[in-house]
A and B are shown apart, each in its own frame.
Chain A
Amino acid sequence: MVRRVLALPTGRTAVAILAVIALLAVLGPWLAPQDPLATSGNTLGAACGSHWLGTDYLGRDVLSRLLDGSRVSVLGSLEVALTALVVGVVPGILSVYLGRAFEWITLRLTDTLVALPFLLFAVAVVALLGNGITQAMLVTGVLVSPLFYRVSRAATLAVARSPYVEAALISGASLGWVVRRHVWVKVLPPIAVALAQTVGVGFVIVSSLTFLGIGVQPPAPTWGGLLASDLGYLSQRPWAPLAPALLIVVTVWACNLLADAIRDVSGEAGRALLNSRKARANRRDQADPAPAGGA
């Protein structure tokens, strides 16, 4: 799967961008040229030699804040995605196999989650578990999990009753075998697409929660938080939101690109695509059978 994704130019691009962003997340705090929390008199300053991206309304260096905030932002998004995977995908696949009771309970639980007002739930959980980025992201992950539950359940249902799954069962395969060997490959692409969307949504949710004082506390920088505070000073520094926005957009775009690549290479369509690329040259003169010649 990995090799097939990397065989596509889009897959390579996506992986390269995401690698750079992961590097930023790991090294960001050390790369930051200045203390991201240090204020100065030079408020809302333009870009210059010492402040490459200028300063914010408290005179803090924007570049340093972006770099320093990348770890929290990326980790936060990953946490959202991971939580959603565990809380959504696993029950989604199992709901098809573990019998009526499990199916009914998980279906009703996801319905409940969808019906819950997001902010109310977030505030309640934070009140219960304490305030922090981990708790906030956990909440977000749980709240987007119905999407993953639905997607993985639908994809599993589509293969669960297919003859090839029955063929495997007739050969004596266990449920674990069937899921690993037949179901997973078909469920992965739609989940990858949903995951890419969620990572993007994650950034925005981090920032909106920051607004409410949930999760990340104000002086600590995040990409979403930077975007939000920059938006307040558009009249003085109209170009300021560009840097954090660009980072978010590029990350989300790379995630989507990766999801597309995964979708393209998985399934029969994907194999056919790669094969046709490889074999187009030597098959060109070899006549295909008539597409609509008979019934």
Chain B
Amino acid sequence: MSTDAVLTVEGLTVHYGARRRRRRVLHDVSLSITPGETVGVIGETGSGKSTLARAVLGLVRASGGSIVVDGEEAVGYGPRQWRALRRRGVIQYVFQDPLRSLDPDLTVADSLAEPLLVQGVPRAEAAGRVRAFLDRVRLTEDLLDRLPGELSGGQRQRVAVARALVTDPRLVILDEPVSALDSANRVQVLQILKELRDDGVALVFISHDLGSVAGVADRIAVLYRGELAETGAARDVIAAPQHPYTRLLVRSAPTLHSAPADRAERDALRALLHT
């Protein structure tokens, strides 16, 4: 593990529920992210990929392991310590559904300024910083007075991304950042994220679709049933997947030129995974 990592997760285990209904949703997951690196965390619904993100943000409690954020061991933190850590704005999160992750009653300007206001930045200064920021995410000033409901899907996603960036985070976790967008907007958002990465920000893409992050991720971590099935350089994971689930993922991602012969291979992999 490199020492300058923005985030280091080691042996992370998370349980949901209490006593007899206690379920393990994440088991012994280790992951480290350095500045300027983009990691794709891939897994199906219920694989624990969202839980991983929520644990790193302190929204769910880890039952074991270690989470080191910005040099601070955060497992065992109480609500107050978590709040102080989050307030520094080191890690930010972009929700899957930008419409629901923006308060419908707040204007774009208010939503964007919120993380700064929470940090205690004076209102006028926050507004100024928001304004100065718009350009980077291809938003225009006339959108500031609008409500989320009055924006297009692409604009909304860019506002959601912008909201996560105003605090100059070192790590941004994005949950399915482009799956709801159409092609033109998807390319635009991915372009913005690429520039961000070039500025040294670490990115984590969470997705069920290997294909949607293949072109942007340096490394890929595949979660399957709460455990890390496979991790490695994107090229290696895609070209030579080791775990059967990863193989199924690669074979399932729709590509323009995949042959129908894949069908038989997929069936074989499914049979293998379900036994």
Interface residues of A (CB under 8 A from B): 162-164, 166-174, 177, 181-182, 185-186, 266-268, 271-272, 275
CB of B95 closer than 8 Å to a CB of A: yes
Cα A171 to Cα B58 with chains together (Å): 11
- Having A172-B86, A266-B105, A268-B147, one finds 13 other A-B pairs with CB under 8 Å, namely A162-B100, A164-B100, A164-B102, A164-B103, A166-B59, A167-B95, A167-B163, A170-B92, A171-B118, A171-B119, A172-B84, A267-B105, A272-B150
Would you mind naming 11 contact pairs between A and B with Cβ atoms under 8 Å apart? A164-B100, A171-B86, A171-B114, A171-B118, A172-B115, A173-B118, A181-B114, A182-B106, A267-B105, A268-B105, A268-B148
Cα A182 to Cα B114 with chains together (Å): 11
The residue on A at minimum CB distance from B115 is: A171
Within 8 A of A (CB), among B99-148: 100-106, 111, 114-115, 118-119, 147-148
The residue on A at minimum CB distance from B149 is: A268
The answer to whether A185 and B100 touch across the interface, beta carbons within 8 angstroms, is no
- Interface majority SS (helix, strand, loop, mixed), chain A: helix
The answer to whether A275 and B102 touch across the interface, beta carbons within 8 angstroms, is no
The answer to whether A172 and B118 touch across the interface, beta carbons within 8 angstroms, is yes
The answer to whether A164 and B115 touch across the interface, beta carbons within 8 angstroms, is no
Contacts of B115 in A (CB 8 A): 171-172
CB of B89 closer than 8 Å to a CB of A: yes
CB of B235 closer than 8 Å to a CB of A: no
The answer to whether A167 and B93 touch across the interface, beta carbons within 8 angstroms, is yes
Cα A166 to Cα B104 with chains together (Å): 14
Q: Give the contacting residue for A177; candidates B95, B111, B118; CB below 8 A.
A: B118
B134 CB to closest chain A CB (Å) equals 18
The answer to whether B95 and A163 touch across the interface, beta carbons within 8 angstroms, is yes
The answer to whether A169 and B86 touch across the interface, beta carbons within 8 angstroms, is yes
The answer to whether B102 and A169 touch across the interface, beta carbons within 8 angstroms, is no
CB of B97 closer than 8 Å to a CB of A: yes
The answer to whether A169 and B163 touch across the interface, beta carbons within 8 angstroms, is no
Which 8 residue pairs are nearest across A and B when measured between Cβ atoms? A172-B87, A163-B101, A172-B86, A171-B115, A268-B104, A164-B103, A163-B95, A173-B118
The answer to whether B84 and A163 touch across the interface, beta carbons within 8 angstroms, is no
Contacts of A182 in B (CB 8 A): 103, 105-106
A142 CB to closest chain B CB (Å) equals 31
Contacts of B86 in A (CB 8 A): 169-172
The answer to whether B95 and A169 touch across the interface, beta carbons within 8 angstroms, is no
Q: Give the contacting residue for B104; candidates A171, A181, A267, A275; CB below 8 A.
A: A267
CB of B57 closer than 8 Å to a CB of A: yes
Contacts of B118 in A (CB 8 A): 168, 171-173, 177
Cα A170 to Cα B59 with chains together (Å): 8
Within 8 A of A (CB), among B146-199: 147-150, 163, 167
B79 CB to closest chain A CB (Å) equals 9
- Given known pairs A166-B59, A268-B147, A271-B147, the reply for A171 and B87 (CB within 8 Å) is yes
Contacts of B270 in A (CB 8 A): none
The answer to whether A168 and B114 touch across the interface, beta carbons within 8 angstroms, is yes
CB of B263 closer than 8 Å to a CB of A: no
The answer to whether B101 and A169 touch across the interface, beta carbons within 8 angstroms, is no
CB of B24 closer than 8 Å to a CB of A: no
The answer to whether A163 and B104 touch across the interface, beta carbons within 8 angstroms, is no
- Given known pairs A163-B97, A163-B100, the reply for A169 and B105 (CB within 8 Å) is no
Contacts of B119 in A (CB 8 A): 171-172
CB of B23 closer than 8 Å to a CB of A: no
Contacts of A185 in B (CB 8 A): 105
Chain A CB count within 10 A is highest, among B59, B89, B95, B103, for B103
Contacts of B92 in A (CB 8 A): 170-171
The answer to whether B101 and A164 touch across the interface, beta carbons within 8 angstroms, is yes
Contacts of B105 in A (CB 8 A): 182, 185-186, 266-268, 271
Cα A173 to Cα B91 with chains together (Å): 14
The answer to whether B93 and A169 touch across the interface, beta carbons within 8 angstroms, is no
Chain A CB count within 10 A is highest, among B57, B86, B101, B104, for B104
- Given known pairs A167-B163, A169-B59, A275-B150, the reply for A174 and B83 (CB within 8 Å) is yes
Contacts of A164 in B (CB 8 A): 100-103, 111
The answer to whether A172 and B89 touch across the interface, beta carbons within 8 angstroms, is yes
The residue on B at minimum CB distance from A184 is: B105
Contacts of A186 in B (CB 8 A): 105
- Given known pairs A170-B59, A171-B115, the reply for A272 and B149 (CB within 8 Å) is yes
The residue on A at minimum CB distance from B167 is: A171
Cα A185 to Cα B105 with chains together (Å): 8
Contacts of A173 in B (CB 8 A): 83, 114, 118
Contacts of A268 in B (CB 8 A): 104-105, 147-149
Cα A97 to Cα B188 with chains together (Å): 39
B83 CB to closest chain A CB (Å) equals 5
The answer to whether B103 and A170 touch across the interface, beta carbons within 8 angstroms, is no
A288 CB to closest chain B CB (Å) equals 12
Contacts of A181 in B (CB 8 A): 103, 106, 114
Cα A164 to Cα B94 with chains together (Å): 10
The residue on B at minimum CB distance from A164 is: B103
Cα A268 to Cα B102 with chains together (Å): 12
The residue on A at minimum CB distance from B88 is: A172
Contacts of A162 in B (CB 8 A): 100
